[in-house]
Amino acid sequence: MSFLPDAATFRALVDGSQTGVVATLLRGLLAGCAAPYAVVMTARNWLYDARWLPISTARVPVICVGNLTLGGTGKTPLVAWLGRLLLEFHQQPAIVSRGYAASAGRLSDEAEELGMLVPGVGHVANRDRVAGVQEAIDRHAATVVILDDGFQHRRLARSLNLLAVDATDPFGCGHLFPRGLLREPLSGLARADAVILTRSLSVDAPHRATLKAELLRRASPKQPIWAEASHTPRGLRAADGQTRPLADLAGRRVALVSGIGNPNAFRKTVAATGCMIASETIHPDHHPYTDADLRQLGTLATENAADLIVTTVKDLVKIRETTLEGVPVVALEIAIEILEGEAGLRELIQRVVACPHTTAPSDA
């Protein structure tokens, strides 16, 4: 077996589904690499907690949306939900992200996706998040900044930390990177002001109750706001902005294509609409689609008599075609629905933006 750095292969290795002597040896090697990583992350967090490393504070409230694990936790729909909520609160939000995997002169996948989902919210991509916040204030007149995927970015103080935890894999295969998918030790939960369990309907009620008890125990003594959310398909969207009802998938043959952190969750969501999956193409996360890729996707769809090519919004902004080999291309647009704890979450956020000068940063 050769080690490939794509999301599907890596996950299969670290979650134990890849079996055999070579896989076992590789997991042992990765465990050895995880030990020094754990030391570095623990020391780094301690230095920030002790205020021995410098921390910058913005002139406006900063609300961080992040996670503890690598891969897709459903964070982007949560960022979109927060952006719409802040507009509802008569704020002018702007999103600041690192701009991971962005090509020259373009926004990142997530930035383009969010631009489609919340067009009234500005976006700044800057590896220097402190400078990015200032740019958001200067260029977009931001009254509040959403720090996208910034939970581990300790150099910038924030007013709130909203932590997304995927119910289907809350503990990152139980190990720190690179042996598992955890970005930092679970003690980082103590920095969260709110924990949002995403994809909560993918597990049963007893499992959710167990997860809640375990996550809040690790977050003690802060006792963050608890919320549970599901990812709900809301319709189909084409690259030209045209939309179609979700019912258009029922009974249709579809060719799936995705380049995201959690393709399994995407497949299950599409299958639940009542369509028939004729073929599936999985690319690594942040995959840049070439002309050859698009030709291959179109050929595969026609060979399998697919009525539609169905992808994610994150992939659609890079595919940019309405048809491939005559087969329509649509994205399944996903919205997050807060099932439990929405009132407490809204109150927490409203309190921060209503009193920006009296709210102490929750974390460095």
pLDDT tens-digit map of 155-213: 999 999 999 999 989 999 999 999 999 999 999 999 999 999 999 998 999 999 999 99
Backbone angles phi, psi at 120, to 5 degrees: -85, 5
Place of tokens 């579809």: 254
Please give the Cα distance from 202 to 195 (Å, whole number). Answer: 17
For residue 292, what are the CA distances in angstroms to 80, 288, 300, 338? 32, 11, 12, 40
31-35, 96-100, 284-288: least confidently modelled range: 96-100
Mode of pairing for the β-strands spanning 327-340 and 308-312: parallel
Q: What is the pLDDT of residue 10?
A: 83
Domains of the chain (ranges; CATH) run: 7-49 (no CATH), 62-232+337-354 (3.40.50.300), 233-334 (3.40.50.2300)
Helices (H), the chain: 7-14, 21-49, 75-88, 109-117, 129-140, 205-219, 263-271, 291-303, 313-319, 342-354
pLDDT tens-digit map of 215-235: 999 987 778 999 999 988 999
Listed residue (255, 313, 358) closest to 110, CA to CA:
313
Residue range 9-32: mean pLDDT, rounded: 90
Place of tokens 């990015």: 132
Following DSSP, what letter does each residue of 63-117 receive, concatenated?
A: EEEEESBSS--SHHHHHHHHHHHHHHTT--EEEEE--TTPPTTS--HHHHHHHHH
pTM above 0.75, yes or no: yes
Whether 358 has a pLDDT exceeding 50, the answer reads no
Please give the Cα distance from 245 to 253 (Å, whole number). Answer: 16
